[in-house]
Amino acid sequence: MQKKAFALRLDPAVHAAVERLAADELRSANAQIEILLREALARRGIEIPVSRPAKRGRPAKEN
């Protein structure tokens, strides 16, 4: 799955709070924002399926 990139303007205080929370939970600020958005959507009854992560590592050798 390819992620959608876009600019997000935040109040500096909100950004600082997200960064603190992300650091406490050992995540990037970007990952923390995605989790917060998913939680907010779920509270409104909108469930978003979690996409499978991209395969990592080298491709298998062909014989």
* Domain residue spans of the chain: 12-43
Give the per-residue pLDDT at 46.
95
Instruction: Give the pLDDT of the chain (63 residues) as one tens digit per residue.
Output: 678 888 999 999 999 999 999 999 999 999 999 999 999 999 999 988 877 777 778 877 887
Give the per-residue pLDDT at 1.
64
Quote the tokens at residue 62.
């062909």
Give the per-residue pLDDT at 56.
76
Phi-psi region of 57 (alpha: psi -120 to 50; beta: other; left: phi over 0): left
Q: What is the pTM of this model?
A: 0.73
Contact call for residues 19 and 11 (beta carbons, < 8 A): no
3-state SS string over the chain? CCCCCCCCCCCHHHHHHHHHHHHHCCCCHHHHHHHHHHHHHHHCCCCCCCCCCCCCCCCCCCC
